[in-house]
């Protein structure tokens, strides 16, 4: 493959990273804004198509997560283990978490904290908050980043499977992990599905696409991929609606408790289809400033996640927005307002993440890595 085409394909993936993080931010906006699902108030799941659509937006946040795991498998399946890759991800998470704690502690000495944040720094919750902020990987403060780091640790072993097992075995592994994702919907009380298994499925899917997709490419058309996306999205919405209705069968199978995660294999299917579609796009017309903007924004995606899912900032961001804006009075105004809010939050946090990474995280990471290499 020519050098130029490799760069172009990578630009496609960087655009996909941005879209994936936008979906994640939209998911959290839908969960936390009081005129949407407002899960912070412990409201029960409401029946109806509007609620079903709202939870489909939440499940599309998992599409975004799936895309990140798939991208990792696609690009790392042929690469050797590098400890710096794990350290950079962990250290970025630590910096965002620890600096957030320091900022809040300093602000608390001069002004009264909002009611949503103040309890985190009082009583026994204070020490839980300290743990959350100082050992975020061990404490599982950010489930997505924790799963991602675990995935990087497991990547060399998964790569060995790709190296020594034939395609049909790796396809069977994808099928087995996919079954784990729907196990709970069959009425089971426990399931082997968890965040790390989820990450592994995404990695194996990405690796499978990298190594074997050309063998089946001629048999699968673009409309097949769009069909997967449309069918999976429709099935998401129908499931959400049926589960929220609490029919006899849905209650017996425990589906009302699964409305938020939904049918968990579907986001992975949609993510894989979108990934393949994006590798086919021609983005040679994106040059100059647009090219640089895409790369810079894509580099800030983890930072956007680490800010808006921080235990302090998510309690501040969404209530503040809700207090500023009036409640929308129609479905169209609700959807359009939510879209604008998601875009504004994404852009603002992206700017903050770029500045923080450029000024603090990346220079300090580089310094530590260079020091370690010198000591070897």
Q: How confident is the model at residue 6 (pLDDT cuts 50, 70, 90)?
A: very low
Q: What is the mean pLDDT of residues 227-242?
A: 96
Q: pLDDT tens, 183-213?
A: 999 987 788 999 999 999 999 999 999 999 9
Instruction: Give the model's pLDDT for residue 42.
Output: 54
Spans of all domains in the chain: 3-375
Q: What is the mean pLDDT of residues 108-136?
A: 92
Q: How far apart are the C-alpha atoms of 362 and 266, rounded to whole Å?
A: 35
154 closest CA partner among 97, 207, 192, 91: 207
| Encoded tokens for 246 | 């609490």
Q: pLDDT tens, 277-315?
A: 999 888 888 888 888 999 999 999 999 999 999 999 999
How does DSSP assign 259-315, residue by residue? TTT-STHHHHHHHHHHHHHHHT---TT--HHHHHHHHHHHHTHHHHHHHHTSTTHHH
Measuring CA to CA, how many Å separate 165 from each of 79, 158, 168, 169? 17, 10, 8, 6
Q: What is the mean pLDDT of residues 46-63?
A: 90
Instruction: Give the model's pLDDT for residue 43.
Output: 54
Instruction: Give the model's pLDDT for residue 124.
Output: 86
pLDDT mean across residues, the chain: 91
Tell me if 70 sits within 8 A of 271, measured CB to CB.
yes
Percent of the chain with pLDDT over 70: 95
Tell the residue number behind the tokens 């503040």, with chain if given.
320
Cβ count within 10 A of residue 327: 11
Measuring CA to CA, how many Å separate 2 from each of 6, 9, 227, 338? 6, 11, 31, 42
């Amino acid at each position: 493959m020519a050098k130029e085409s490799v760069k172009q394909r990578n630009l496609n993936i960087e655009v996909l990273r941005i879209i994936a993080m936008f979906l994640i931010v939209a998911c959290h906006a839908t969960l936390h804004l009081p005129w949407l699902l407002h899960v912070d108030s412990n409201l029960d799941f409401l029946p109806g198509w509007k609620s079903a659509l709202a939870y489909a937006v939440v499940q599309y946040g998992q599409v975004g997560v799936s895309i990140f795991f798939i991208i990792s498998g696609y690009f790392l399946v042929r690469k050797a283990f590098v400890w710096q890759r794990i350290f950079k991800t962990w250290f970025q998470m630590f910096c965002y978490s620890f600096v957030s704690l320091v900022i809040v502690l300093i602000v608390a000495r001069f002004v009264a904290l909002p009611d949503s944040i103040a309890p985190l720094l009082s009583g026994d919750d204070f020490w839980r908050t300290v743990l959350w902020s100082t050992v975020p990987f061990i404490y599982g403060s950010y489930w997505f980043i924790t799963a991602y780091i675990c995935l990087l640790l497991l990547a060399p072993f998964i790569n060995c499977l790709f190296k020594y097992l034939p395609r049909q075995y790796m396809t069977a592994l994808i099928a087995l992990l996919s079954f784990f994702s729907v196990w709970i919907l069959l009425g089971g009380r426990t399931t082997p599905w968890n965040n790390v298994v989820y990450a592994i499925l995404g990695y194996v899917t990405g690796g499978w696409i990298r190594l074997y997709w050309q063998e089946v490419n001629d048999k699968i058309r673009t409309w097949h991929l769009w069909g997967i996306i449309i069918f999976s999205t429709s099935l998401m919405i129908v499931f959400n609606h049926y589960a929220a209705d609490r029919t006899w069968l849905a209650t017996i199978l425990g589906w009302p408790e699964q409305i938020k995660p939904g049918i968990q294999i579907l986001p992975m299917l949609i993510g894989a289809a979108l990934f393949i579609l994006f590798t086919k796009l021609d983005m040679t017309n994106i040059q100059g400033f647009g090219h640089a903007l895409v790369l810079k924004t894509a580099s800030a995606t983890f930072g956007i996640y680490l800010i808006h899912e921080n235990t302090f900032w998510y309690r501040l961001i969404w209530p503040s927005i809700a207090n500023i804006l009036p409640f929308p009075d129609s479905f169209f105004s609700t959807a359009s307002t939510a879209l604008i809010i998601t875009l504004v939050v994404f852009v603002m946090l992206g700017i903050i993440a770029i500045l923080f990474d450029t000024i603090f995280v990346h220079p300090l990471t580089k310094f530590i890595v260079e020091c370690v290499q010198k000591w070897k």
